[in-house]
Structure 1
């Protein structure tokens, strides 16, 4: 049975039973198309986003023995109830200088729970590329990816570099339309005969070239999937284990996380890490700390400045795309996932804002969220924390 189909069917049952997890998921029939994941009811989303790791297989991202402290700071004076209700927010966290200045939960989600990231996982995957370069597993950003993925020789990815894959400027064609059940993003996760080849490589090598590498930005979850295969090949380690080694255990996450695995038993590197609200905050704090664990940098010199600044322009004034991070010309950067997941990092104010949500629609620009982030910035400016 196709695992994503089982996931969708299981979450339907979750909602029907109003229970945290289905008692028996393995006997449920799959839905007709995996893309129906995008059309759950609101009740199904709120039940499912906090239960995916208990419905379909995830590989454990192990935490360490000692959690990195997040001490309580002076509370920010913000009225968040209306924002949380309108944005269907399950978890809201504001850190400044590593201290908790605001923490709220909704939709029956709690501190002990974990919430799926959707595409916020892309930012974790790109960070593993930096770690692999630092560790000597990957030669450089300018290395052609066929060095590690020879199955892509004579495909649209011939001549594409690691940098171009990270910035989604490969030039390969791809359809990321979440409303189209025949789009690549939907068909990619459906089972198909690969003749023994890795399913990601088998699908992606069939894409056509739409532009010369480096000349066009085009959002593609498939390309982050390729990054994941590249890191696994280069390091010889599952992504979840490498992420634990470099970040989750080393930096001090408080709880094990989980990374959804695909039909081949590999992490779906473009999607779906399950983690607690506070540990998502620690991911942001790790970035603010310069990508360091203690005094040791796990990323190459200059990596963070490139990863979190505009490397590609996608047509929105004042915004851009780095190494799988969304960037803003004012210095902020963010990880985003569909249905309203986000980590927004503001180096100037030393803040991390994490929002976990169950939006009614997969994508869209939320003016309400933008206004709330502005309120957070104004509140921090009005009552700044004492420098550590």
Structure 2
């Protein structure tokens, strides 16, 4: 079909406009409405670029005795799931499924986003890279692996301080503020050959001396992810697949979001997996980090990573290497909008929750999530 000059001009303008559409901002997730959240959390790879984490032959999760959480206020599990927009709950004990429930139209095949639970995945890959010798030691300067940070506030920060979020670099993690660092960390002018996130972080000022104070910073876990990629020469998705997803036997492919221009994966967020495979990740840790008969992580890594290294100002809790720690020996990966991977070695217990809370984080919602964990423990008769 031949277009008239006027129509050809209009077509060209429309085509240029389409090509000029800005890349989807990964931090837009903070400001979606409830309908957008519930639709997108199950299909993040349709909104953003991602890499595939290839699975292996499924590690069996046989059924165990059914467990009914006992809430101290008498509410039912259905009430809890409805009130908190829960898409999935799984409880393993001794590697057996004692509870499995779905909501929001999710099924066993649904991949749901994890948000900051991914931080604990990234930390686990540090343990693998230490065992491989790709990362030489936690007291290495971060600049050994990311030299672009050598002229800024990160120049004297160690890998350990990055893992424990005690770098002392100033940061604002306010999810409701569109001008916060966590909302703007994927913005700015790109430098050739440098991940956009590194460019943003390199300009941040110092607030405290390294190691002096803990401040939660998603951007720093993204730096940990870049450090792992640089050290191993592998993408996070490929390294996770090789070290855990295939040999331990996750049953389905996962996805790891990445920058659609520079290809950098988001170490602090962005893993999407099925409910059962999140539970398998917890069981992998309970099994001592052994997959296909081989120790995957550095000796002593799990105990070191999941103990308190930083005081967060909350009685009974602390922060390890990208894990929230509890004085009873349990530890958890926690993500905004209700995600949870809770591991309790003493009770041989894994608890997973996937959700779409109406807000990113909220004291009342978090208190109810903690009450759910206690309801599970109460049902064990302990």
Assess, with a 3 A threshold, how the Cα gap between structure 1 residues 28 and 146 changes in structure 2: closer, same or farther: closer
- Distance in 2 between residues matched to 1:287 and 1:342, nearest whole Å: 15
- Distance in 2 between residues matched to 1:196 and 1:246, nearest whole Å: 27
The equivalences for 1:215-230 within 5 A come to: 215-230=212-227
Q: Which residue of 2 aligns with 1:213?
A: 210
- Distance in 2 between residues matched to 1:317 and 1:265, nearest whole Å: 40
Does the alignment pair 1:194 with 2:186?
no
The equivalences for 1:34-49 within 5 A come to: 35-49=27-41
> In the TM superposition, what whole-angstrom CA distance separates every residue of 1:302-344 from its partner, at most 9, and x where no partner exists?
1111111100011001000000000111111000111000011
| 8 Å contact kept, 2:24–2:47 | no
- Distance in 2 between residues matched to 1:231 and 1:103, nearest whole Å: 34
Among 180, 184, 188, the alignment partner of 2:181 is: 184
Q: TM-score when scaled to structure 2?
A: 0.90
- Distance in 2 between residues matched to 1:82 and 1:160, nearest whole Å: 46
- Secondary structure of the residue that 2:160 maps to in structure 1? helix
Assess, with a 3 A threshold, how the Cα gap between structure 1 residues 106 and 30 changes in structure 2: closer, same or farther: farther
Question: 1:285 deviation in Å?
Answer: 0.5
Among 287, 290, 297, the alignment partner of 1:289 is: 287
Count of matched residue pairs: 356
Q: Which residue of 2 aligns with 1:72?
A: 63
| 8 Å contact kept, 2:26–2:48 | no
Does the alignment pair 1:121 with 2:118?
yes
- Secondary structure of the residue that 1:103 maps to in structure 2? strand
What is the aligned-residue RMSD (CA, Å)?
1.7
| 8 Å contact kept, 1:171–1:217 | yes
Q: Which residue of 2 aligns with 1:381?
A: 381
Q: Which residue of 2 aligns with 1:332?
A: 330
Question: 1:298 deviation in Å?
Answer: 1.0
- Distance in 2 between residues matched to 1:285 and 1:354, nearest whole Å: 11
- Distance in 1 between residues matched to 2:29 and 2:65, nearest whole Å: 40
Q: TM-score when scaled to structure 1?
A: 0.88
Among 123, 129, 134, the alignment partner of 1:132 is: 129
The answer for unaligned runs of 5 or more in structure 1 is 1-25, 383-388
| 8 Å contact kept, 2:129–2:232 | yes
- Distance in 2 between residues matched to 1:325 and 1:246, nearest whole Å: 19
- Distance in 1 between residues matched to 2:206 and 2:263, nearest whole Å: 29
- Distance in 1 between residues matched to 2:369 and 2:20, nearest whole Å: 37
- Distance in 2 between residues matched to 1:240 and 1:191, nearest whole Å: 25
- Secondary structure of the residue that 2:262 maps to in structure 1? coil
Among 52, 63, 66, the alignment partner of 1:60 is: 52
The answer for unaligned runs of 5 or more in structure 2 is 1-17, 70-75
Q: Which residue of 2 aligns with 1:13?
A: none
Assess, with a 3 A threshold, how the Cα gap between structure 1 residues 176 and 74 changes in structure 2: closer, same or farther: same
| 8 Å contact kept, 1:349–1:380 | no
Larger radius of gyration: 2
Question: 1:118 deviation in Å?
Answer: 0.8
Question: 1:225 deviation in Å?
Answer: 0.9
